[in-house]
Structure 1
Amino acid sequence: MNPTSPSFTIDCDTCVMQHTDACGDCVVSFICSREPGDAIVVDLNEYRALEMLAESGLVPELRHRERSGESGERHRHMS
């Protein structure tokens, strides 16, 4: 990562862990390998960790917002 740049690129082709056991457990691999339309599910502890990271400015805040009229109950029945 370039310390003078406000952003960096994560590219699996430049990762030293590509094609190792760690690659399968990587959040980037997890997100990029899912099928379109699949939800990413995080548990409460993971959500709290993401919130703490966002509050510290280490990651952007969660931008997902549920559409009006949809509920968690509906989503549970769909899975």
Structure 2
Amino acid sequence: MNDDSSSITIDCDSCLVRGDACGDCVVTVLLGGPPQGVRIDDEEREAIDALSASGLVPPLRLVTAMDESVPDSA
């Protein structure tokens, strides 16, 4: 079962630190370079977190832009 709410799409093209952080990002380590996009589920994300916490791979360095819309005030 693939539930979109339990997965993350890593799109290197939208990463705000692409280039600067690619050399120290788990995506580059595991896949050999920035791909078009990678979808990982919660189990894969937990595995990457465990590997990076133990120092075996660098952490995910993905940084995306936040929505700058102003919230409505009631």
After TM superposition, the score normalised by the length of structure 1 is 0.40
Between structures 1 and 2, the one with greater helix share:
1
Higher relative CO (CA 8 A, sep ≥ 6), structure 1 or 2? 2
